[in-house]
Chains A and B, each alone.
Chain A
């Protein structure tokens, strides 16, 4: 059996390892789209900060890991998939055959459609190559001006690394508030105050009308007529799944690759995992993309078991994330915006940048936002995903949301 995995992020690597465990004799090929060993984008902020060297970003630390596991690593980009002939075209006449295919190609930065977006000096902070380029510029020219468009998850998590290199950072936020996809306005407001107190210039409800270059310096023209000079224009306006190469493949695409409960696409033998898979949200029942690390590894594992002939259902997942913005830790779980008719409870200490908001439906927790709370936050996942009925403990949380672990432990041990 020939297994081919396109994409060497967490989903692809875990899938390859799971396949090896499940099938000792299978051929397993892992296609890496970048000229690097499989690495973690999650680690890039720490590379920018100088906490780790490049090797610290690698998903597996042993250089012989893939050889030991008899996982063949091939570098190249999939150009197209022929689902009838069961081959993947890498261009240049190179084709990889497969019996089972896993598409785990992840996401790429969304492209802004403004004039000048192709100018030199415009870049993302998404790949190891991006990080190298930014670090090289910051070292060559201390105090470089970076104008960053976007303050979502990526935009926020890279700020500490950028500032640690002495850059002059200006952030443009299209909407009224930062990380609006995972934080409510109160949590977001705390993040913004925190960043501004650390010297980051933040312009909300602002976006560039276009970019131009003058004497090697980018000119970022804002819609209100102001012009900001910049050495780097860092575009961080979100991500899109890497699906372009699937045009004409016959694979059913929605927002992502539509998969069934076994993570198989509409084409038998072709599976998807991670950021590209459109699967079921276990809270809402709706189909959605879920571009978070824990979902990627779980889907990689389950897709691999199915590919190996061990039918395993994916139970669904939901969105949760943790973000560190210049040292301020925040987290977001499930339906943090709440449901109509549901109760909510919150506690806010703005001066100390601490905030916790819980959302309920009946006596179940369905979502949460936190800022400055890190202890036992995993219990929020446990309570939400377990659809745990809180009974009278809900009232305890309504009165004091910080009692979350207390309430969780009470549930485990049936404390009356």
Chain B
């Protein structure tokens, strides 16, 4: 059974341990700006929402890449950016309707969540189990994926 990140915003306290862990895992520095998972704050509602790539089946980023620099990891299901192949054209960053693959000016490449080879650092670091790494069927992934569907039926969110 493939696993995926399950995010429960109700449990998130906004501590940013996930962002710290992600940047440490990938850059060996505690720089939340470099994190591939982002915690969005909604102060008026008193809510925090961690958000990152859902490794969607459509893989808009992977199919749009003009140089074959994004590959499917058959074990984890993650779509992985191959840095030496990426030319930094950013087509994937506009093709992904979730906004979860982004350009990094320092490297001249794009970055996205790669599930840390099956041991996501963000989930390990989360002290409240707002981010867990669980069997894919449990995550309500489909719900998140369908949200960016192309119908006219999306209700207003409020």
Which residues from chain A sit less than 8 Å from chain B, CB to CB? 10, 14, 40, 42-43, 45-46, 51-52, 56-61, 282, 293-294, 297-298, 301, 315, 320-322, 324, 329, 331, 333, 363, 374-382, 385-393, 405-406, 408-416
Choose from B49, B67, B91 the contact partner of A409 (Cβ within 8 Å).
Answer: B49
6 intermolecular pairs with C-beta atoms under 8 Å apart: A42-B91, A376-B99, A410-B40, A412-B49, A412-B147, A415-B45
Q: Is the interface of A mostly helix, strand, loop or mixed?
A: mixed
> Which residues of chain A have C-beta atoms less than 8 A from B98's C-beta?
378-379, 382
B64 is an interface residue with CB less than 8 A from chain A: yes
CB contacts under 8 Å to A, within B141-156, are 144, 147-152, 154-156
Task: Please give me the 4 A-B residue pairs with the lowest Cβ-Cβ distance, nearest first.
Answer: A379-B99, A382-B97, A376-B99, A391-B156
Contacts A293-B66, A415-B49 given; indicate if A329 touches B154 (C-beta within 8 A). Answer: no
Interface 1/0s, chain B 43-63, versus A by CB < 8 A? Answer: 001010101000000001001
B125 is an interface residue with CB less than 8 A from chain A: no
Total of A-B residue pairs, C-beta within 8 Å = 158
Interface-side segment among B20-28, B100-108, B114-122, B131-139: B100-108
> Which residues of chain A have C-beta atoms less than 8 A from B87's C-beta?
43, 46, 51-52, 56
Q: Which residue of A lies closest to B40 (CB)?
A: A409
Within the assembled complex, what's the spacing in Å between the Cα atoms of A379 and B51? 12
Indicate if the CB atoms of A412 and B51 lie closer than 8 Å.
yes
B95 is an interface residue with CB less than 8 A from chain A: yes
Indicate if the CB atoms of A40 and B90 lie closer than 8 Å.
no
> Which residues of chain B have C-beta atoms less than 8 A from A52's C-beta?
87
Q: Which residue of B lies closest to A315 (CB)?
A: B150
Known: A381-B95, A387-B151, A410-B40. 20 other contacts (CB 8 A): A40-B67, A42-B66, A43-B66, A46-B88, A60-B68, A297-B64, A315-B150, A324-B88, A374-B102, A374-B105, A378-B95, A378-B97, A379-B97, A380-B99, A382-B98, A385-B148, A391-B158, A412-B51, A414-B157, A415-B157
Within the assembled complex, what's the spacing in Å between the Cα atoms of A298 and B18? 34
> Which residues of chain A have C-beta atoms less than 8 A from B2's C-beta?
none
Indicate if the CB atoms of A329 and B158 lie closer than 8 Å.
no
Within the assembled complex, what's the spacing in Å between the Cα atoms of A413 and B11? 13
> Which residues of chain B have C-beta atoms less than 8 A from A414's C-beta?
157
Q: Which residue of A lies closest to B96 (CB)?
A: A378
